[in-house]
Amino acid sequence: MRKIPAFGLGTFRLQGQAVIDSLRNGLEVGYRAIDTAQIYRNEAEVGEAIAASGIARDNLFLTTKIWVDNYAREKLVPSLKESLKKLRTDAVDLTLIY
């Protein structure tokens, strides 16, 4: 089991280049936990920032949250797969139901 880092970067209300810049700066100073959510509508930018950082995915603790619109049985798994695609990863460390 992976240990959750004590401090992490939240991405609530960050959009576009602000997400990328915030994550770049946070990762540069040592943050290794990143939190996002489907409803934040910034998972693609989070994925872009992670990819650009050069930090191995195994060295990050990535959390996303499934939005209420995707709770239905037929929507939950497809929505998570879409999140993974946007985040440019094949797994997250923690998935929460928002």
Three-state DSSP class for residue 91: coil
> Of 31, 40, 71, 98, which is the active-site residue?
40
If you compute the radius of gyration of the chain from its CA atoms, what whole number of angstroms results? 13
- Among this protein's residues, is 98 annotated catalytic? no
Which string of b and e fits 68-81 if b means at least 16 CB within 10 Å?
A: eebeeeeeeeebbe
The set of catalytic residues is 40
